[in-house]
Amino acid sequence: MDGTVTYWDGKPGRGPALRVAEQAIIKGAGEHGLRDVFWKHRGHGVEAFSHRVAGTERRYDHVFASGHFATCDSGYYVEWMDGSMSDHAVVWAKMEWAPHRARW
């Protein structure tokens, strides 16, 4: 919950290509001026998950946005996982266009 990103390429059947792909998304977003909206709005100390399998919860799903947007609220609808609709929660973010900001 400190913002550390764990990559899952160490699992059987997953190789270095998966790590490269994951890093391109997570690290690459920041290099292009995009930030994780949930982390920016809620902070790293909030327990959140968007995927659950066999009782293991992980945060896989994200919304990325540039500094041109102000985040009003964000979260996950985890209830969808309880009703067997999906093993992923719905990630949502309420944002406002704020082009004068162009930064976080």
Tens of pLDDT along 56-81?
A: 888 878 889 998 898 899 998 888 77
Residue 60, in any domain of the structure = yes
Cα–Cα dist 5/36, whole Å: 12
64 belongs to a structural domain: yes
Give the chain's domain count: 1
pLDDT digit string, tens, across residues 75-101: 988 887 777 778 888 889 999 998 776
Please tell me whether the overall predicted TM-score, pTM, comes out greater than 0.85 for this model: no
In whole angstroms, how far apart are CA 26 and each of 3, 36, 83, 100, 101? Answer: 11, 9, 29, 26, 23
Would you say residue 76 lies in a domain?
yes
> Is 63 inside a domain boundary?
yes
- For residue 3, being part of any structural domain is answered with no
Q: How far apart are the first and last CA of the chain?
A: 21
Give the range of the structural domain holding residue 87, as residue numbers without chain letter: 16-97
Q: Is residue 55 included in any domain, yes or no?
A: yes
Residue 102 counted as domain residue = no
Partners of 70 in the β-ladder:
96
Phi, psi of 103 (to 5 degrees): -160, 170
- Residue pLDDT, tens place only, 10-66: 566 667 777 787 778 877 788 888 888 887 777 666 778 888 888 888 887 888 999
Q: Tell me whether residue 24 is in a domain.
A: yes
* DSSP line for 16-38: HHHHHHHHHHHHHHHHTTEEEHH
